[in-house]
Chain A
Amino acid sequence: MSDTFLAWLTVLPGYTLPLLLASLGLMISERAGVLNLCPEGFMAVGAMTGALAVLAGYSPAVAILCGILAGTGLSLLFGLATVVFRADHTLAGLATVALGLGITGVLGRPYVQKPFDGLTRLSETSWGEGLPRLLGQQNLLLPISLILVLAVWYWIFRRPSGLSLRAVGEDPAAADVVGIDVQLTQLGAVLASGALGGLAGAYLSVASAHVWVEGMVAGRGWVAVAIVIFAGWRPRGVLFGAILFGGAEAAMLRLQTQGVEFPLYLGAMLPYALTLLVFCIACARRGRDNGAPAALGRVYLRQDKH
């Protein structure tokens, strides 16, 4: 294994995990039929709250928990608007992002650009060279995230409650007549997306950058939305998409630190362009049946004619 590749692998999780976690949560929400454009907002409040907690002297673990709670709190608003008040999912999602970005700007402005220690790596040097070193460079959230992907897969596709979740997204009327609480399921799914989005944001600030700056999510939330679509709402596809985008981002950075000459911002643009390209190819190949939950984005009302 060449050094460049190893170095790339070392930094890969830092770019992949936020996307992975946000997309995973988003997938849960959309599997329940709630079209969700919120990750950008969830991640923003998660990142800010996590950073603020660390700066206030709490341990990184507590800070990450705070990030999760902040994301969940924001998602509760979105969930109430869409699930209880039956608002348009797209517009409510955009409003939630605006709210999230606005809150971070208002509350977090004094804490911008203040570096902190954040979540430590498993081990800096003691694990030797090569692969052990690579592993030592990671933090605890890497195994936790991978376990989460497996757990979500198992839950959605193997557990009865996962079956209910998917049924609500596919055909809420069919779920309703057998006694499944459509609204409660959807609200739960939205909260899960908020929690995971908040975790993704907290990862950005507490575990990865060790600093908070306004706008540090930088469109990753939108990328997460794209990832879930071309993943066909499947955990495996989400993992692949997150690695693709994160990998491209990490590769750009590696190349720059190794002194390869190319424009900085065009390089930063590349992962987004790549996402768009892969997204288009996926859409063009699959055509109409892209695996989307059949009732995605539709407002369900029991007493409508179905």
Chain B
Amino acid sequence: MLDGTLLLRRQTVPGWLRGACYTGGLVFGLGLSAVLLVSMGIAPSDLFQEFVIQTFMTYQGLGQTVTAATPLVLVGLGTALAMRVRFWNIGIEGQLWCGAMAATWVAINDIGPESLRIPLMMAAAMIAGLLWIAIPLILKLWWSVSEVISTLLLGSIAFFWVQHMLFGAWRDTTTGFATSPSFDAAERLSLLGWEQVHGGIWIALTAVLVCTWLTGVSRLGLQAKAVGENMRAAKAAGLPVLTTIAVFVLGSGALCGLAGAVITAGTEYRLSQSLGQGYLFSGIVVAFLARANPLAVLVVAFALGGITTTGGVLKVFYGVSEAVVLMAQGIVLLSVLAAQLFADYRLSERRLA
């Protein structure tokens, strides 16, 4: 059964084949998700209407999609940076929560002059995310503690910390709900006058540019590529391996922290228990499907933003839980991963008399 003799590893994978398998996996995954939705009673024409027309082709829908994509770009970039140096940052949500908390702290304590409030919030969020990922980084470098576990656990810990603040010191006394008080106008990212699209989009685009420069133009980018491809060779060639890993991993944490601030200051205007949910998987999906390439992150995050928007619409008008977005991400990721089999290996037929 499952005979391994049939599989041969390809020495080199042609670009078209890799592309075809990737596309095939993507189409299969999206198709399967669509079929599941249809089987839940959503008419195919409705699905097409909501997902393709409303989400990407109307002024209003496109605005929502862009809004949803903004933080996705940031977490996607963050995950991609860590992936480049083979560091599994699975604590995206933790860094995001820390960033959101730091921004909230600056906002509700009115730190600094009002004109500098937004930059301060963003800086605080980046520092918070950076510090939160510094823990697993140091643990890994000093005691070779697996970052998969430490980042995950720190994610849970950060979430409890948020709850601690929301049910305690930061609870909104006017509503009694477990959210922080609403931010003042100076603590909100300005709206661009197109639906809910806010200034965070400039932050995200800047981040894309910075990451493109870092990975593609700077010396660190090539060093990171060498570290990711072959750590031993990079060490033997005398590259500053530790510095390279540290820059990329800390940058990853900072970007995820920034995403937290952009969500709080751009769309929610307060800290809530739900704003960071699901970004772990979104970040992984975006970075993986974009092959850790910053420009591709932009595209994938935009597409995923569309799916998120559609999920929201399906929830309101068709009564389907927005968890369907999470499910679709799982399906697509799994099917793209599995489809790589056909690129990486050759199926040889045994011709034995």
A interface, CB within 8 angstroms of B: 37, 77, 80-81, 83-88, 90-92, 94-106, 109, 176, 181-184, 187, 214, 218-219, 222-223, 225-226, 229, 263-266, 268-269, 272-273, 275-276, 279-280, 283-284, 287-288, 300-304
Give the one of B88, B324, B334, B340 with max A CB within 10 A: B334
User: Secondary structure at chain B's binding surface: helix, strand, loop or mixed?
Assistant: helix
B167 within 8 A of A: yes
Chain A contacts of B157 at CB under 8 A? 269, 272-273, 276
Q: Which of A105, A226, A268 contacts B322 (CB 8 A)?
A: A105
Would you call B164 and A272 a contact (CB within 8 A)?
no
Least CB separation from A104: chain B residue = B323
13 pairs, CB–CB < 8 Å, chain A vs chain B: A92-B337, A96-B330, A97-B330, A102-B324, A102-B327, A105-B324, A106-B327, A266-B161, A273-B157, A275-B153, A288-B144, A301-B7, A303-B8
- Asked if B321 is an interface residue, CB under 8 A from chain A, the answer is yes
Cβ of B218 under 8 Å from chain A? no
Q: Which bracket fits the contact residues of B?
A: 35 or more
Closest to A288 in B: B144
A181 to B88, CA, bound (A): 31
B145 near A99 with CB under 8 A, answer: no
Determine the distance from Cα of A265 to Cα of B273 in the docked complex, in whole angstroms.
13
* Given A102-B326, A105-B327, A301-B345; A91-B2 close (CB under 8 Å): no
Interface: B331 (CB within 8 A): yes
Determine the distance from Cα of A279 to Cα of B326 in the docked complex, in whole angstroms: 29
Give the dominant DSSP class at A's interface.
helix
The 8 closest A-B CB pairs, nearest first, are A105-B323, A102-B327, A99-B330, A98-B330, A102-B326, A183-B2, A269-B160, A302-B4
* B154 partner residues in chain A, CB cutoff 8 A: 276
Question: In the docked arrangement, what's the CA distance between A12 and B345, Å?
Answer: 49
Q: Across the interface, do A83 and B2 meet the contact criterion of CB distance under 8 Å?
A: yes
B337 touches A283 (CB 8 A): no
Interface residues of B, Cβ cutoff 8 Å to A: 1-2, 4-5, 7-9, 40, 88, 90, 139, 142-146, 148-150, 152-157, 159-161, 163-164, 167-168, 280-281, 284-285, 288, 320-331, 333-334, 337-341, 344-345
Separation of A197 and B167 alpha carbons in the complex (Å) = 32
User: Given A101-B326, A102-B328, A276-B153, do A304 and B164 touch, yes or no (CB 8 Å)?
Assistant: no
Are B4 and A100 in contact (CB-based, < 8 A)?
no
B9, B88, B144, B337: which contacts A301 (Cβ < 8 A)? Answer: B9
Q: Is the CB of B1 within 8 A of A181?
A: yes
User: 12 extra interchain contacts, Cβ-Cβ under 8 A, other than A94-B284, A95-B281?
Assistant: A77-B334, A87-B337, A92-B337, A97-B281, A101-B326, A105-B327, A106-B320, A106-B323, A219-B153, A264-B167, A269-B161, A272-B157
Query: Do B90 and A94 have beta carbons less than 8 Å apart?
Result: yes
Structural contact, A91 and B153, CB atoms closer than 8 A: no
Cα distance, A284 to B320, chains bound together (Å): 47
